[in-house]
């Protein structure tokens, strides 16, 4: 395969195909890395960065090591030779974990736990990718590093907060990305970039060495081209030595579609694509019930005054705000500052309410194989739509509304692309019970072929 063909292929091939090519000798890990960095040289706008830092010297060494071990016939780790990007809130030894800020922190002295696991699995870590400052927005805008354009819908936002992680995958600047998800920050950019994004049950993935936004809500998950890709990455992140999931038959499976909360204010396009997805699911033999979900009506009580995110981010940032407040994005610092008004009694009440609501949600979901909803209520907004602060606030809340449900209720969830090829990107979200991640991934494998070929072509092929 020519270097040109491989450069195009890394933007479209799933991990299984890339690994097969490595095993067969069709290409080398160094070839994959060169293709990704070549794409970065061509597509990464330094004024609106996808990569804020490239780990070129260590990445080249990791790729060379993978090729040497494979040539010597050594049994290979599950991700050996695959170029994977990291959201800029995961510690990497010697790098500043700036989390989308101006970066006044000292370089990290140790790798985050998930970075250690990726290294042991043979991943080639390509660099830190751009994000909303301190992960505090679902839109992906960043005034310090710029905001990468949406590869599938130029002139529109990439979604956040893991903006660069998703754009890097969509453009072939890496073959997968690792992000964090506090209220949809993996699933939103996945949906907006025609990719799959998986938010696991929080407790499964250790967060040591990860700069927190909200300790109660933060989860770590992958963004990649397919469910199989996310399954492979999830097993490594969770430290699970397990077989990959296999698709479950859809005949007779029961799925709930909420008639309340998550279905309000959908754009006409999102509603159209979601309805088409449900028809395909019913045609495949699944039972889809449109029903009210009582616990969803109680969620505003967990969000009042900024909720967990404001309270817990203020705990992390209160000294930094005092020392560096003028360096923050005002749209971020103003939201963090709300946490100062949340008392200890308020916070303990939040914890108890969430415990009760999460238990209610788990009991309710026990009657179904999963809950289905649009990942985001609208297609990616244009940059122009977000110039006004009021519009920014309104659209941010709407973008976050549906995916936040899984974080607040401590559930697992996955976003699948369900748009028409060449159309504006949209996503379908499947939500599962706490701890039922493997089952959710197995069901997502069955849903994925029904969603059409939306994610099969690379940007520029439409």
Sign of CA dihedral 168, 172, 174, 177: positive
The active-site residue out of 161, 162, 163, 446 is: 161
Residue 197, phi then psi, degrees to nearest 5: -130, 130
* Residues 392/398, Cβ–Cβ less than 8 Å: no
Measured between alpha carbons, how far is 148 from 364 in angstroms, rounded to an integer?
Answer: 40
Strand-by-strand arrangement of the 254-258 sheet: 51-54, 124-129, 83-87, 176-181, 219-224, 196-199, 412-417, 427-432, 370-374, 254-258, 287-291
Residue 318, phi then psi, degrees to nearest 5: -60, -40
Tokens of 225: 């081209």
The active-site residue out of 34, 87, 162, 415 is: 87
* Residues 183/218, Cβ–Cβ less than 8 Å: no
Dmax (CA) of the chain = 63
Measured between alpha carbons, how far is 80 from 354 in angstroms, rounded to an integer?
Answer: 40
Sign of CA dihedral 241, 247, 251, 254: positive
Residue 297: CB atoms within 10 Å: 12
Can you list the alpha helix ranges (DSSP code H) found in 284-373? 300-303, 307-324, 330-337, 344-365
Measured between alpha carbons, how far is 166 from 158 in angstroms, rounded to an integer?
Answer: 8
Residue-wise over 364-388: b if at least 16 C-beta within 10 A, else e?
bbeebbbbbbbbbbbbbbeeeebee
The active-site residue out of 137, 163, 174, 185 is: 185
Tokens 């100062």 locate to 340
Is 87 among the residues known to form the active site?
Answer: yes
DSSP secondary structure string for all residues of 329-346: -HHHHHHHHGGGG--HHH
Residue 211, phi then psi, degrees to nearest 5: -70, 120
Of 20, 154, 140, 30, the closest CA to residue 88 belongs to: 140
Residues labelled catalytic: 87, 161, 185
């Amino acid at each position: 395969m020519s270097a040109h063909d491989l450069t195009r292929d890394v933007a479209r091939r799933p991990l299984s195909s890339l690994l097969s090519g490595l095993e067969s000798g069709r290409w080398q890990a160094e070839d994959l890395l060169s293709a990704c960095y070549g794409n970065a040289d061509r597509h990464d706008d330094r004024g609106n960065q996808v990569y804020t830092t490239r780990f070129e010297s260590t990445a080249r060494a990791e790729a060379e090591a993978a090729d040497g071990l494979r040539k010597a016939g050594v049994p290979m780790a599950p991700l050996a030779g695959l170029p994977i990007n990291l959201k800029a809130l995961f510690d990497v030894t010697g790098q500043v974990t700036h989390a989308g800020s101006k970066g006044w922190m000292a370089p990290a002295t140790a790798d985050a736990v998930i970075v250690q696991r990726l290294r042991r699995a043979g991943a080639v870590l390509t660099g830190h990718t751009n994000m909303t400052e301190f992960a505090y927005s679902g839109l992906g805008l960043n005034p310090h590093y710029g905001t990468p354009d949406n590869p599938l819908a130029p002139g529109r936002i990439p979604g956040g907060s893991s903006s660069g992680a998703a754009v890097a995958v969509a453009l072939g600047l890496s073959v997968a990305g690792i992000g964090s998800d506090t209220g949809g920050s993996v699933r939103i950019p996945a949906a907006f970039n025609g990719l799959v994004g998986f938010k696991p049950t929080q407790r499964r993935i250790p967060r040591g060495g990860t700069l927190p936004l909200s300790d109660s809500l933060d989860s770590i998950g992958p963004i990649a081209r397919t469910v199989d890709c996310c399954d492979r990455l999830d097993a490594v992140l969770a430290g699970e030595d397990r077989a990959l999931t296999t698709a479950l038959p859809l005949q007779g499976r029961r799925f709930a579609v909420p008639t309340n909360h998550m279905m309000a204010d959908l754009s006409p396009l999102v509603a159209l694509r979601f309805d088409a997805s449900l028809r395909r699911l019913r045609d495949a033999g699944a039972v889809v019930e449109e029903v009210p979900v009582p616990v969803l009506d109680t969620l505003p009580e967990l969000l009042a005054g900024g909720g967990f995110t404001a309270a817990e981010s203020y705990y992390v940032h209160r000294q930094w705000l005092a020392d560096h407040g003028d360096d923050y994005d005002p749209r971020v610092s103003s939201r963090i500052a709300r946490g100062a008004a949340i008392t200890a009694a308020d916070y303990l009440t939040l914890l108890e309410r969430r415990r009760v609501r999460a238990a209610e949600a788990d009991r309710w979901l026990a009657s179904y194989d999963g809950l289905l909803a649009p990942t985001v209520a609208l297609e990616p907004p244009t940059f122009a739509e977000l110039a006004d602060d009021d519009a920014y606030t309104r659209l941010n809340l709407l973008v976050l509304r549906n995916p936040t449900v899984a974080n607040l209720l401590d559930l697992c969830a996955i976003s699948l692309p369900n748009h028409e090829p060449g159309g504006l990107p949209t996503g379908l979200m499947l939500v599962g019970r706490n701890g039922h991640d493997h089952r959710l991934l197995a069901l997502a494998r069955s849903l994925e072929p029904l969603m059409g070929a939306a994610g099969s072509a690379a940007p520029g092929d439409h």
